[in-house]
Structure 1
Amino acid sequence: MQLDPVEYAILSQSVIAAAREMGVKLIRSAYSTILREARDGSAALLDAEGFTVAQAELIPMQLGSIGPIFQPCKAMFPKETLEEGDFLVINDPYSGGQHLQDVFFFHPIFVDGEVIGFAASVAHHLDLGGGAPGLNAAARDVYAEGLIIPPMKLNMARDWHGGGFQRLLRANVRVPQQTMGDFDAQIAANNIGVLRVQELAARYGTAKVKATMAALQDYSERRMRAAIAQVPDGTYRGEAQMDDDGLGRGPITVRVAVTVAGESIAVDFAGTDPQVGTNLNCPFASLISASVSCLKAALTSPDIPFNDGALRPITVTAPKGSLLNPNHPAPVRARMISASRAWNAVMMAVSQATPERAIAQGYDTTTAFCLSWLGPQGWSVYLEVYGGGYGAGIGNDGCDAVDNPLSNCSNTPVEAMDQDFSFFRVTEYALRPDSSGLGARRGGAGFSRSYEILAEEALVSYYSDRFTGAAAGLFGGGKGASGRCEVRRSNEVISLDSKVSFPLRRGDVVTISLGGGGGYGQPAERPAALIARDLEDGIITRSMADSWAS
C-alpha cells in the first residue's frame, strides 16, 4: 500500500524505538553480570516472514544474522501453525544458530488472529551445562559445549512457568538462578516488543504497520546500495591470522576476496584454512554477521538501520569444512575469535578500495574469561568478555580498553563482582602503558585485571588470541602489544597459554592482560601535542614518549 510520508516517518521510528526499548528491558531485567553488566544480549523486531526490521544497538554478532537464524524455525514451524502463547527457540549452531550459549527466543505478534511479525531476543547465558562450568576449553565436539536446542516450538503456559522445557533447562545448568532469570529477561523483552507493535496496529491499522516494516527494509537496501556504488569496482583481497588452533598448530589463516560490482558486494572466503579440532570454528551464521558488520561500519553511514534490507546487496560464501563453515560436530564456543579474523581480513580488503574509511587492526579478540568454584551452596560462575585496544583510523586514535567491533560488551564494574562473588576479589584494573601501536594516529591501549583467589579448588578457564601475534598497523602504523595471562603463586609466576583451563589455589593471583590496537600512518607524523597528552594520560611511558619524539 502507498504510505503517507508523515505516517511512515512516525511508524518507522516507532518500530525502531520499540526495538531499543526491548534492549533496555532485556538488560535491566537480567540476573547475571554477563547480561546485566556486560550487556551481552540483543533484541529485535522481525516481519511476518522472519526478516529483521529493527534492532537494539547492542551486539552486532548476535543480530547481524538473526533473520537467517530464524529461517530454520520458520521452515519447521510456519507462522500459520502458531497459536497464542507459542514461541520458538534455537541455539544449535548446525541448525542455523551461532554458539550454544546464545539462545534465541522468538515470540509471534498476533493481531486479530494473524501473525504480523515476531519479537526476538538473544542472550549469552552464563552456563548451559557441558563439560565445564561457564566454558569448556577442552571441548572436542559441540556436544561437550552444553545443551543443544534445535528449532523448537513451545507454549508459554505449557512449557514455561514450571513446565517441562523450563524444568529441563534448570536441570542442566550449574547456576539456575542466574540462567533462568536471564531467560525470563528475554521473555520480558519480547513481551514489550509484542505489545508495542500491537499498539501501533491498533492505532494505525495492521496494513500500515506491515507496509512500514517492508518499507524500512527497502530503505536500508537503497542506502546500502548507494554506499556500495561509491566504492571502485574490483576484487580486493585480505587475510588475517590466529596464533594457533589451541593444540599447538598455527598460525591459522583466514583469507578473503571482496568483489565490488556496481551496487553489490560478494565476499568469498575461499582459501581459508580447514576447521580445527578445538572450539575456534565459526558457524556460517556468525560469518555472515562478521562480514556484513565490517562492510556496513566501513562503507556506510551509521544512521542506516541495520536490518535484513541492508544484507540484500551482500553475498557471503565460505568452503564447507573450513574454519568459517565447519562440519558437524566441530566445537564452536570460541567462534568470535575466528569471526574477528574474518572481520580483519575484510577490513584489509576494504583498505585497498577506500583507504580513508578503513581502520587498523585492533586487538580484536574476544577473551572469554571464566572463574568458577563449587562451594557449599553450589556452583558460583563468573564469566566476562574482554576486548583490548581498538585500531586507529585516518582521523582518530583507537579507543582504549574496549570490546572488539563484533562484541561491544561493557566491562563489568568491580563493585558488581564484589556483590555477586565471594571466592575472588579484584586487586588491580588498569590500562597497559605502551601497549598501543604507534602511528600518526595511535592504536588504543590494552588493559589488565588481577584476581586474588579466596577459596580452594577454583578454576580459571578462558580462550583468547594474539598472545604471540599482535594487531597490525595500517599504512606505516606500528603493531599493538600482545596479550598474556599469568598466575602468581607465592614466589612463582606461571605463564599460561592463550586457550586453557587451569586449577587454582587459595592465594593465587591471576592477571589477564589484553593487547593494544595497531596504529594508522607513519609514527613520525604524530603531532608532539598528542604525544604529550598520551604521556599525561598514562597511555605511554616517558621512555616511549622520548623515543617517539625523536
Structure 2
Amino acid sequence: MATAEQQISWDGVDYPYIPPRELRIHEGLALHGDADEHVDPITHEVLRHALWNVNAEHGNTIMKISGSPICAYGHDFNPAILDERGDFVFFGPFLQYLGAATGSAVKWTLEYRSENPGIHEGDVFLTNDPWVGSTHQSDVAIYAPVFYDGRLFCWVANSLHQWDMGGTAPGGFNPMAVDVFWESPCIPPVKIVEKGVMRRDIEEYYLRSSRVPKLVALDLRAGVTGCTIAVERILGLIRRYGAATVKASMRKLQDDSETAFVKRLDTIPDGTWTEEGWMEVSMPGDRGLYRNRVTLTKTGHTLTFSNKGSAPQQGTMNGVLAAWKGAVVAMLTSQMLYDQMFVIEGAMRHIEFDVEPGTISCATRPASVSGAPALILIQSIGLGGLVISKMLAESTDEALRSEVMSAMGVMAFPIVAIQGVDQRGAGYSSFLLDPVGSALSALPWRDGQDTGGWPWDLQSTMPNVEDNELFYPFLYLWRKELADSGGAGRFRGGNSAELAIVPHKTDAINLFTITSQMAVPAPGMFGGFPSSTNKYALHKGAKVQEQIGASGRMPTAQEELGGEIDWVPAKSFDRVPTPDDVFVCAWAAAAGYGDPIDREPWRVAEDVAAGRVTAAWAAKAYGVVLAADGSVSEAATEARRQSIREERLAGARAWAGEEEA
C-alpha cells in the first residue's frame, strides 16, 4: 500500500488506471465532435432505438459465433457504444459490470496508443490487463474506433470471458495463485486487427498459452466480428442521417440520462450509508475472514463510493478498480436507471470513487486477481445494491422506494473449474455455470424469485442439464431448488439450488474450487433473515452405479449417498473425482426483507404447499403453525408469534445485562 509520501501514478502499470478529466490525446488524432444543436424528437427516437439495436446485434453476433457455454448461458460478455472520448453511449443488456471496464480500456488507448502505434480506420484493439481495462485476465476487452471523414467519430467495444487464457489453473480462476505471475498473462492494449487485417503474430501470441486454443480463437473472432458489424451499422446510420445528427442524438442520450438521474437524486436527502461483507479464505489452508466495505455518500447531486476500511490485498481474493467500479455501475443501472436503456454516462457525471489502493477491492500489482469476478466483484455488486437500497429507502419517490432490495443470491460465485479428457477423447477446460440460476432479492412489495438469475443481467439463464452432459464427461444425479434456502422475511428471499454430478466416460475430472460465502451469509434487509450459504462436497467411493443397480432408483438427496464425505473448502486444487465419486455443489440464496413474523400466514401456507418452505421452518422462522391439512392454525400461530417476540425480548435483555456488567 502506498504511503502518504509516495506519489501514486494511476496509469495502469502498478496502480490501476484512472482517466484524468482531460485525456492526453496526441494531436495527430483528429476527433469528430461536431453535433447539431438540436435534433427533432422523431429522428432522435429513431436513432435511439437504432443505436440500441446496434448494441443488441453486436451481442447476438458474439453469442452466435463464440459457441462457448460461458457466453451462451452465463452471458459473460457485454457490448458497448462509446463516444469519441470514451464516454458511454450505450451498455448492452448482458453482464453489466463488464461494460464499465471497456470504457477504461478505450480511454487508456486514447492516451497511450494515439501516437504510437496510432489509432486508424480499420483497427481493432485488444487487452486483458486488469489494471488497464479488464475485470480479470479472462475477460478480454476488444474494441474498435469508428472513423468518418478522417476523424474518430466513436468507439464500439465488447468484453467476453474467454474459454481459457492459460496459467496454472483451468478456466481462468486460480485458487492457489500467490501473485499475478501464477495467472494468465496480462496483455496491455495491442492491435489485433490493423487496417482491416488480423495480425497473425498477435493472434498466435494470444492463443499460445491457452489449453483450448481453437476454442479461444472462436471467442476472439466473435469479439472482432461483433465490433466489425457494429462499426458497419453505425456508419450506415451516419450515411443516412448525417454525422452531426447521429452525434447530436448520442449527446442527447447522455444528457437525458443525466437529467433523469439528477431528478431522482433530488428526492433523496444527503447522507452516508455503509455495508460490509466478509471474504473467506485467502488461500488454500487459510481460515481467515477479510472485510470488504462499501460506503456511499450523497452530497447534493454527487454520489461518492468508497472502499475505505476494506482489508489489505492478499491471497487469491483480490479485485481491481475496474471490477469494483463495474460492480457499483451494475446496481445503479438496475435500481436508478431502469428506464434509460442502459445509458449510464449521465449518472457517471455525478459519481466519484474515493478508493484506497492496496486493498482487496482495489489491488495493485503484482496481486493475484484472477478470482475477482467470482469473489470480491460479485460481493461488491451485492454490497453496492444494499447501500443504494438504504439510500433509496429514504427517497420521497414511491417508485424509487420500490427498488429497495435485500441481498441478492450468490454474493460469491461457487466456481467449479474442471479440466481433463472428455468422452470424445478431446481435452477440455471450463467451469460450471449452473449457479447463474441465482436467487433474486426480496423487495418491499414482493418475494424474490427462486433461481431467477441476477438483477444486473436481464437475460441470465442456467445451462440445460442435457447440454452440459453433452459438453462435458459427467452425468447429473440431480439439480433441484432447495426449500428454506431463501432468507425468511415479510417478503421471502428467492430460494437457490443444488446439483450433484458423477464423472462419466472418463477416468477422472481435475477439479478446482474458488468461492466465499460458505461461512458468512448475506445479510437480511430491515429485519429479514440472512441467506443460505455456498457448499461443496465430494462423496468418495459413493459408487452410485452399484447403488442404482441394487435399489432400482437414483439417489435424489445428499443423505442418500454413500461413501466418505469430503467437505471441499472454498479454495482447493487437488480434488480428482472418478466415476465412483459424486460431487455436490449448492449455491447461496437471497436474503429476506422485513420481519418474518409480519408475513401474512396465508403466504407461508402457500409456500409450504408449493415446497418452497418446510412446515418446520414455517413454525420456527415465521411463527406460522399449520394443521394436518395444510391450513393455518390461527390460534397456534398467534401463540407461536407471541412466543417469538418474548424470546427476542429475553435475548435482548440478557445481552444488555452482559454489556452493563
Give 1:456's match in structure 2, choosing from 482, 497, 507: 507
Deviation at 1:449, TM superposition (A): 1.2
Give the aligned partner of residue 396 of structure 2: none
Deviation of the 1:404 alpha carbon: 4.2
Identify if the C-alpha distance between structure 1 residues 354 and 121 changes in structure 2 by more than 3 Å, giving closer, same or farther.
closer
Shift of the alpha carbon at 1:377?
4.5
- Which of 468, 484, 489 does residue 417 from structure 1 map onto? 468
Structure 1 unmatched runs, 5+: none
Q: CA RMSD in A?
A: 2.2
- Displacement after TM superposition at 1:194 (Å): 0.8
Given that 1:227 and 1:300 are in contact with CA atoms closer than 8 Å, whether structure 2 keeps it comes out as no
What is the total number of aligned residue pairs between the two structures?
547
User: 1:155-174 deviations in whole A, cap 9, x for unaligned?
Assistant: 3578637x112222232211
2:485 corresponds to which residue? 435
What's the offset of the Cα at 1:60?
A: 1.0
For residue 347 of structure 1, report the CA deviation from its aligned partner. Answer: 3.6
Going from structure 1 to structure 2, the CA distance change for 1:124 and 1:402 (only over 3 Å counts) comes to farther
Contact in 2 for aligned 1:53/1:307 (Cα 8 Å):
yes
Q: What SS does structure 2 have at the residue aligned with 1:64?
A: helix
Aligned residue number for residue 381 of structure 2: 343
* Aligned-pair CA distance for 1:378: 4.4
| Matched residue, 1:199 | 236
AA matched with 2:310: T
Given that residues 32 and 179 in structure 1 are in contact (C-alpha distance below 8 angstroms), is that contact kept between their aligned partners in structure 2?
Answer: no
The alpha carbon displacement at 1:515 in A equals 1.9
Corresponding position of 1:499: 571
Q: In 2, distance between residues paired with 1:156 and 1:451?
A: 46
Q: Who is 1:129 aligned against? A: 166
Confirm or deny that 1:370 pairs with 2:408. Answer: no
State the secondary structure of the residue aligned to 1:496. coil
Which residue of structure 2 aligns with residue 353 of structure 1?
A: 391
Q: What is the CA–CA distance in structure 2 between the aligned matches of 1:37 and 1:389, rounded to whole Å?
A: 16
Change in CA separation of 1:368 and 1:200 when aligned onto 2, cut-off 3 Å: same
Alignment partner of 2:277 out of 227, 237, 240: 240
The Cα shift of 1:402 comes to: 4.1
CA distance in structure 2 between the aligned counterparts of 1:352 and 1:122, rounded to whole angstroms = 31
Distance in 1 between the 2:453 and 2:513 partners? 16
The equivalent residue for 2:48 is: 12
The TM-score, its normalising length taken from structure 1, stands at 0.94
Question: What is the alpha-carbon distance in structure 1 between the residues aligned to residue 488 and residue 518 of structure 2?
Answer: 19
User: Where do residues 151-230 of structure 1 align in structure 2 (5 Å cutoff)?
Assistant: 151-156=189-194, 160=198, 163-230=200-267
The correspondence of residues 375-414 of structure 1 with structure 2, limited to 5 A, is 377-385=425-433, 386-387=435-436, 388-405=438-455, 409-414=460-465
Deviates most, 372-381 or 17-26: 372-381
Superposed displacement of residue 216, structure 1: 1.2
Query: Residues 291 and 316 of structure 1 are in contact (CA less than 8 Å); yes or no, is this contact kept in structure 2?
Result: no
Alignment-mate amino acid for residue 229 of structure 1: D
Letter aligned with residue 37 of structure 1: Y
Report the CA distance shift for 1:352/1:382 in structure 2 as closer, same or farther (over 3 A): closer
Find the aligned partners of 1:466 and 1:434 in 2 and give their Cα distance. 17
CA contact (8 A) 1:340 1:406 kept: no
Q: Counterpart in 2 of 1:447?
A: 497
1:294 is aligned with what amino acid?
M
**Paired residues of 2:420 and 2:508 also in contact (CA < 8 A):** yes
Moved more, 76-85 or 388-397: 76-85
- Alpha-carbon shift at residue 62 of structure 1 (Å): 0.3
Contact 2:120–2:195 (8 Å) recurs in 1: no
State whether residues 127 and 140 of structure 2, in contact with CA within 8 Å, keep that contact through their aligned partners in structure 1: yes
| In 1, Cα distance between equivalents of 2:196 and 2:229 | 21
Displacement of 1:546 after TM fit?
4.5
TM superposition shift of 1:487: 0.8
Three-state SS of the structure 1 residue aligned to 2:406 is coil
CA contact (8 A) 2:333 2:344 kept: no
Cα contact 1:366–1:404 (8 A) shared by 2? no
Q: Which residue number corresponds to residue 70 of structure 1?
A: 106
* Alignment check: 8 A CA contact 2:521 2:532 kept: yes
1:482 maps to: 533
Q: Give 1 or 2 for the bigger CA radius of gyration.
A: 2
Aligned to 1:141: 179
Deviation at 1:466, TM superposition (A): 1.3
TM-score by length of 2: 0.79
CA distance in 2, matches of 1:230, 1:69: 34
Distance 2:341 2:301 in 1: 16
Contact 1:220/1:304, CA 8 A, preserved across alignment: no
Task: State the distance in 2 between where 1:235 and 1:313 align.
Answer: 16
1:370 aligned counterpart, secondary structure: strand
Moved more, 31-40 or 199-208: 31-40
> 1: distance between equivalents of 2:446 and 2:105?
35
Query: Could you tell me how far apart the structure 2 residues matched to 1:314 and 1:188 are?
Result: 33
Alpha carbons of structure 1 residues 113 and 158: separation in structure 2 relative to 1, 3 Å: closer
Residue pair 1:241, 1:253 contacting (<8 A) in 2 also: yes
Q: 8 Å contact 1:59–1:407 — kept in the other structure?
A: yes
In the alignment, which residue of structure 1 is the partner of 2:629? none
Deviation at 1:405, TM superposition (A): 4.3
Structure 2 distance, partners of 1:395, 1:65, is: 34
1:411: how far off? 1.4
Structure 2: distance between partners of 1:447 and 1:21: 32
Using the aligned pairs only, state the percent identity.
24
Q: CA deviation at 1:407?
A: 6.1
CA shift digits 1:118-151 (9 cap, x unpaired): 2211110110011122132211112222122101
Match of 2:344 in 1: 307
Report if the CA contact (8 A) 1:244-1:250 is conserved: yes
Encode CA deviations 1:426-484: one digit per residue, 9 max, x unaligned: 22111011111111100111101111112224211121221111121111111121221
Structure 2: 5+ residue runs without aligned partners?
1-35, 394-400, 542-562, 626-661
Q: Secondary structure at the match of 1:97?
A: coil
User: Which one has a larger percent strand, Structure 1 or Structure 2?
Assistant: 1
In 1, Cα distance between equivalents of 2:463 and 2:293: 34
Are 2:314 and 1:276 equivalent residues in the alignment? yes
- The aligned counterpart of 1:513 is 586
- The aligned counterpart of 2:598 is 525
Give the AA of the match of 1:12.
Answer: R
2:567 alignment partner, SS class: strand
Please say if residues 366 and 403 of structure 1, whose CA atoms lie closer than 8 Å, have aligned partners that are also in contact.
no
